[in-house]
Structure 1
């Protein structure tokens, strides 16, 4: 069985900006900067044959490159936070890509947990901290509300194998799926004429 997910790799400049945010937040435990990514579809533990079928399905998808930016910080877990994240600026192409990739996984026979797609990059995962530590973390996240990084052109998606360990997850790239060239930033919709 292989624990795997489909996601987007981040450019070095974006990972550096995220690593700086990690240093500014009082996180009990940080995600290693080299493993920062945006998950599109978490496949879970899959046998080789199912993963091969998903790979074949992902390889048939035709996607155009698109610009993407990160925006804002937040916490998952409510009053007992268990993860800190950087948000993603609204992106129709990203939402469309995720839905298409999820559908491809289903058609390949992968049974997925049903969860609403909330695009984000996880900065830290941890057991819920005590009240004082939670208050410090919430204050730091609120102070970082104006965080942004990008835009950059998303030019491919990656199928990763995930190895869980005591110091966090390690990811190995299994396959990369390049996108067709898209419009350069500033040219989105430039080819459209008047109504």
Structure 2
């Protein structure tokens, strides 16, 4: 008896877009660090909730759950660099300064998606922007990357406004993957930033 193929889902996640000037700046940083594989500037983002494969007919319920969220906008700031893969680094990222509003958005969104029937990835939320992914590096290259992270610990940015979040579809056919925006969800506006 032939095995039935399960219907293919769409690989999706919710995340935050970055201002163009900040994406370009981070791309230059990744280039200067001579990363083996860099994320293209247009694909730099911050993942809020990764859902993995979702059948297209279930996306409407997730869309409606996200659309029903009412959260205020907030501001973020890039702060420092880091590596994933302790003994064998396989990704370099830019971190973000702690921001309770970001943590609240992520938690509320994940809860709403679970109630809508989604099964988000079970991983502690560590706000970051991946700059490059690569196979585990030989010891001398891993040591170079670790030194670069220490040297880049002062990496930062001015505050930037977060006015919405996005449902992305991830296309894995290319190398690196490409991300397509499916829907954008506005946050409530807040007074503009003021300089003290």
Aligned to 1:23, which of 22, 26, 31?
31
Structure 1 segment 73-112 matched on structure 2, within 5 A: 73-112=81-120
Q: CA deviation at 1:152?
A: 0.9
Deviation at 1:16, TM superposition (A): 1.5
> 2: distance between equivalents of 1:70 and 1:103?
26
Q: CA deviation at 1:150?
A: 2.8
Q: Secondary structure in 2 aligned to 1:39?
A: strand
Partner of 1:7: 15
Runs of 4+ that moved beyond 3 A: none
Residues in 2 aligned to 1:113 and 1:68: alpha-carbon distance in whole angstroms = 24
Report the number of matched residues: 187
Q: CA deviation at 1:131?
A: 0.7
3-state SS in 2 of match to 1:31? coil
After TM superposition, the score normalised by the length of structure 2 is 0.92
User: Aligned partners of 1:24 and 1:152: how far apart in 2?
Assistant: 23
Alpha-carbon contact 1:25-1:141 (below 8 Å) kept: no
Q: Tell me the residue number matched to 2:4.
A: none
- Once residues 26 and 20 of structure 1 are traced to their aligned partners in structure 2, the CA distance between those partners, rounded to angstroms, is 10
Structure having the higher strand fraction is 1
SS at match of 1:148: coil
Asked if 1:45 is matched to 2:59, the reply is no
Q: Which moved more, 1:84-93 or 1:162-171?
A: 162-171
Q: Compute the RMSD of aligned alpha carbons.
A: 1.2
Unpaired runs of 5+ residues, structure 1, are: 188-195
Q: CA deviation at 1:186?
A: 3.8
* Match runs of 1:1-195 below 5 Å: 1-186=9-194
Is the Cα contact below 8 Å between 2:62 and 2:116 reproduced in 1? Answer: yes
TM-score (structure 1 length as normaliser): 0.93
d(CA) in 2 for partners of 1:88, 1:183: 22
Q: Distance in 2 between matches of 1:150 and 1:6?
A: 24
Gaps of 5+ in 2: 1-8
- TM superposition shift of 1:130: 0.3
How many angstroms apart in 2 are the aligned matches of 1:142 and 1:100?
34
